Amino acid sequence: MKRGDHISSYYPIFLGLSGKRCVVVGGGQVALRKVRALLEHEAEVKVISPALCPELAQMAEKKIILVLPRSYNDGDLEGAFMAIAATDDGKINRKVAGEAREREILVNVVDAPEQSAFIVPSYLRRGALTIAVSTAGKSPALARKIRTRLEKDFGAEYASLALMICEIRSELRKQGIKVNGDTWQEALDLDALTQMLRAGQSEKAKATLLTNLERLRRTKTRDGASRYAC
């Protein structure tokens, strides 16, 4: 790697935002996208901007979001868990980032990863399954392109599969059976299971997975090395 080619390392993490105050500074289309994503994750959203795009104005009228119809001022991040600076004014964005750092608040400055404490990946959701793609802020377009390709490979059947696995894990735990990660990896025949789920054969898929787990349990027990130790 050449000098200057170092890529900042970001720690991948999924944050629980339900009920947490998130402040978005800006009222345009970029701010709208950020607000929609925050609302999707059940955050309490406050928008600060002297002007709002029509969609944000409608959200304000319906009291979906709280709006301060003015420019950003020092102190506006009081009580915030997260802040997003999404204006087209670099000076204001830097001001938001500075206050966030002083208050130790997570902050993202749109299109300025060097001023941000975190960056937002391109992601897709299939029920409980979330797949995120990031290029460390180097090429959002590439991340989006990869995500678009993944969307074709991961359909609604993966949402059903995640739910089915959760149900099976719960049933096994009630029986006092714990399965470790390696055993699950061997038992999960993704091609077969997703094909069944796409065909609406959920019960067959569940029975197949249970059979795989039982077969592995018997094999490991005979070998004297059971993997049922979560």
User: Residue 93 is part of a domain; what is its CATH number?
Assistant: 3.40.50.720
Q: What is the pLDDT of residue 227?
A: 44
Domain assignment present for residue 14? The answer is: no
116 and 25 housed in the same domain: yes
User: Residue 143 is part of a domain; what is its CATH number?
Assistant: 3.30.160
125 and 37 housed in the same domain: no
Domain assignment present for residue 100? The answer is: yes
Instruction: Give the residue, 152 or 9, on which the prediction is more confident.
Output: 152
26 and 116 housed in the same domain: yes
103 and 32 housed in the same domain: yes
- Residue after which a domain boundary falls, among 70, 103, 120: 120
214 and 161 housed in the same domain: yes
In a 13 Å sphere around the CA of 11, the CA atoms on its Cβ side amount to 3
111 and 31 housed in the same domain: yes
∠ CA 120-93-132, rounded to 5°: 0
Domain assignment present for residue 15? The answer is: no
pLDDT tens digits, one per residue of 74-109: 999 999 999 999 999 999 999 999 999 999 999 999
Q: What is the pLDDT of residue 223?
A: 63
Domain assignment present for residue 7? The answer is: no
39 and 110 housed in the same domain: yes
53 and 141 housed in the same domain: no
Considering its fold, how many domains does the chain have in total?
3
72 and 61 housed in the same domain: yes
pLDDT at 226 over 80: no
List, as one string, the DSSP characters of 159-189: HHHHHHHHHHHHHHHHTT----HHHHHHH--
**β-strand pairing of 44-48 with 66-68:** parallel
Domain assignment present for residue 96? The answer is: yes
Nearest to 118 by CA among 84, 91, 144, 74: 84
Q: What is the pLDDT of residue 106?
A: 98
pLDDT tens digits, one per residue of 125-149: 999 999 999 998 889 899 999 999 9
114 and 26 housed in the same domain: yes
Domain assignment present for residue 182? The answer is: yes
Instruction: Give residue 82's domain range.
Output: 21-120
Question: Is the pTM here over 0.85, yes or no?
Answer: no
133 and 194 housed in the same domain: no
* pLDDT, average across residues 19-47: 97
Domain assignment present for residue 10? The answer is: no
Domain assignment present for residue 8? The answer is: no
Nearest to 23 by CA among 81, 79, 78, 83: 83
Instruction: Give the residue, 155 or 9, on which the prediction is more confident.
Output: 155
